[in-house]
Amino acid sequence: MATVTSMKCACEKCLCVVSLEDAIAKDGKYYCCEACANGHPNDQDCQQKECGCS
């Protein structure tokens, strides 16, 4: 059976795709970075600066 190993970051505007191994799990969702996981406090940038999801 195939296992899903990567998925889109749960941050709504984020387009990053993260592998489950590297993802930051929070409240049952997976995020690409701490900034996304925490909802971009203080306009903290995404790990992918070009992403612009913050």
Q: Are 4 and 14 in contact (CB under 8 A)?
A: no
What residues make contact with Zn ion under the rule CB under 5 A?
9, 11, 14, 16, 32, 36, 46, 51, 53
Selection from 17, 16, 9 nearest residue 51 by Cα: 16
Least spacing, CB of residue 7 vs Zn ion, in Å: 11
Q: Which is nearer to Zn ion, 7 or 16 (CB)?
A: 16
Smallest distance from Zn ion to CB 9, Å: 3
CB of 39 to Zn ion, least distance (A): 8
